[in-house]
Each structure stands twice: as structure tokens, then as C-alpha cells.
Amino acid sequence: MKVQRICVLGGTGFVGRHLVARLANRGYPVRVLTRYPHRHREIEVLPGAELIEADVQDPTVLQQHFSGCHAVINLIGILHEYSSSQSFRAVHTELPGKVAEACHAAGVKRLLHMSALHADAAKGPSQYLSSKGEGEQRVMRVPDLAVTIFKPSIIFGPDDNFFNQFANLLKFARVLPLACPNSRFAPVYVGDVAQAFETALDNDATIGQSYELCGPRIYTFKELVEDIARMLALKRRVVGLPDSLARLQGKILGMLPVKIFTTDNFLSLQVDSICSCNGLEALGIAPRSVESIMPMHFADQTQRRRYDSFRKTARRG
């Protein structure tokens, strides 16, 4: 094995948890940097994993923690802006530049960088996509650094944000008004994404490459949400909104303190999240489908809901 200690940024998130567990189980010593170590103590149970509190926006802190590592993986990303330190520019554009430069300064030769499908500095229709595109440019221009970039469609798994957020909405709303119902996605399984990163670590042919990552099937947004309702055994109506109302929905929901949909999300949905060339195939990974993973997860929830309702009824009796 050529690569040894690996430093992961964003290793506490949805993708990060899967990737860090995978790398630790394969015998890589993994160093995970986080703002909130007390929330992620379970990572320390993994063999060879260390969890370190760090201000990743500080270049000297990055350099210090990258020292002695053979590779760095940056998974940090946000879907919504909350403050100046949590802005698309700070997180998607400036941070990747700092990470790449800190790799150079610390003598780390290998960087795997997580971007997003259709991230494009010039043509990205939203701040999310244009800032991710600028981040790609920043990491590519640092000399003597072997970079590989990953650009996934929406990522799914039992502990994901997307499917579970819609599952929670569908439990309460009999009718769900949906923005951009005809936007298309090719959801990719989190385990396949983690495998793509691991494969790239040890494969020099991936250096300098950018990989789009997609699942095996394309769905419209409306089809996906209807499928989630079906998996939960719920009878629900999903009503597609015209763009004028979807924009308004983004504007209003974007003003709430906890954001679930914003104008920027609406703009991201203007481009279909589907691959022109699926990098999973190039990496020798057979993409797994939503149907092979998620029904089992939602069936467990449905079963639990039934037991809860039986328990309540039994108590009343």
C-alpha cells in the first residue's frame, strides 16, 4: 500500500463517516479534523482513527495537521449559507485553495477533492455550483500536487440528508408542493462514492482527473419524492410548482432560521444533475441503485411506526 496516514476534512459528515470507516477498516491511519469533536466521539472507536479539533480556515493549523500525512481528502461543503464564515465563497472557494496550499507547504503530494456535478466557475447557475467550480480551479493550480476531483450527483444512503428530509416532510404533509418537479437526478450510493475515493488513493492514473459520479438510473425530482412516499407506504400527492411559485417558495423558506430550500437551491435545480460520463465505471465500480438500498431502510421505519401505534393503542386499552 503506497498511501499511509490520511487527513480527512469533512470526515464527520454524511459522506465522511462512510469514507473514514472504510479507510480505517482497510488499515489506513486516519486523522479527522472537526470544529466539534464532542459531537463525533464515535469516530475515535475506529481502528487507527484520531479526531482533532481544528480551525480549518487557519492555514497554519492546516499545515500543522497535514504534516506527516501522505494524502489529504477534503469533503467540506455546505448547501446553504448562514454567516460570513459559512458562505459559499469561504467554504467552497477559499478553503480548497488554503487546503491545497497547506498540502504544498506540509509536503503532502496527494489531494482528493470533493466538488459537485456541474460545478462550473463561469457557467454554474447558482452560487453553490459556481463557488464549487472556483474551488476546483484553486486546487488545480497549486504546483507539485497530485489532485483528483469528484463531482457527484445527489448522494443517497440510509443516513443521508436528502431522502430522510423528504421522508420526514411526507410523514406530516398529505400534499407536498415541489419546486422544479421535472429536474433530473441520478442518485449515487454513498458506499460507491467512498469506494471511488479509496480506489483513487492508490491509483496514479486518477491523478489530474475529474470524475463525475452517478447512480445507474435517472429520475425526475417528482418521481423520486413519490418513490419515497411509496417506500414509506404513505398515500401522498406531490404537486409540481411552476417556476414562479418555486422561486417564491425559495425566497420565503430561505428567510427561515433553519433552511430547507432557498433561491440558490432553486437555481441549482435549473441544471439536470446527471452525468455525461459516469466515473464509477472508469474506476471499476458497479453503481448500486436506490431500489437496492433504500426500501429496506424505509421498511424498518414503517415497521417501527406500526409497532409504536400498536403500543399506543395497547396503553389506551
- Cβ nearer to ligand NAP, comparing 155 with 170: 155
Interatomic CA distance for residues 116 and 257, integer angstroms: 25
Interatomic CA distance for residues 45 and 57, integer angstroms: 27
| Residue 165 touching ligand NAP (CB under 6 A) | no
| Residue 249 touching ligand NAP (CB under 6 A) | no
| Residue 75 touching ligand NAP (CB under 6 A) | yes
Stretch that binds ligand NAP, among 9-17, 22-30, 41-49, 279-287 (CB under 6 A): 9-17
Among 43, 56, 139, 180, which residue interacts with ligand NAP (rule: CB under 6 A)? Answer: 56
Q: Residue 47: which region, alpha, beta or left (left: phi > 0; alpha: psi -120 to 50)?
A: beta
User: Cβ of residue 83: shortest distance to ligand NAP, in angstroms?
Assistant: 9
Stretch that binds ligand NAP, among 31-39, 225-233, 247-255, 282-290 (CB under 6 A): 31-39
Stretch that binds ligand NAP, among 77-85, 138-146, 200-208, 285-293 (CB under 6 A): 77-85
**Helix pair 14-25, 190-201: axis angle to 10 deg:** 50
Interatomic CA distance for residues 13 and 75, integer angstroms: 8
114 three-class SS: strand
DSSP letters, 147-174, are: EEEEEES-EE-TT-SHHHHHHHHHHH-S
Interatomic CA distance for residues 169 and 175, integer angstroms: 10
- Cβ nearer to ligand NAP, comparing 42 with 308: 42
Instruction: Give Cα separations from 295 to 60, 72, 168, 189, 233 (angstroms).
Output: 46, 34, 15, 13, 10
Kindly write out the interface string for residues 96-125 of this chain, putting x where it contacts ligand NAP by CB under 6 A and - elsewhere. Answer: ------------------x-x---------
Interatomic CA distance for residues 12 and 73, integer angstroms: 12
| Residue 155 touching ligand NAP (CB under 6 A) | yes
| Residue 166 touching ligand NAP (CB under 6 A) | no
| Residue 293 touching ligand NAP (CB under 6 A) | no
Interatomic CA distance for residues 104 and 87, integer angstroms: 25
Residues that bind ligand NAP (rule: CB under 6 A) add up to a total of 23
- Cβ nearer to ligand NAP, comparing 15 with 72: 15
Distance of CA 34 to the CA centre of its chain: 16
- Cβ nearer to ligand NAP, comparing 14 with 298: 14
CB 53 within 8 A of CB 37: yes
- Cβ nearer to ligand NAP, comparing 114 with 176: 114
| Residue 280 touching ligand NAP (CB under 6 A) | no
Interface ranges with ligand NAP (CB under 6 A) = 10, 12-16, 34-36, 56, 75-78, 85-86, 91, 114, 116, 152, 154-155, 162
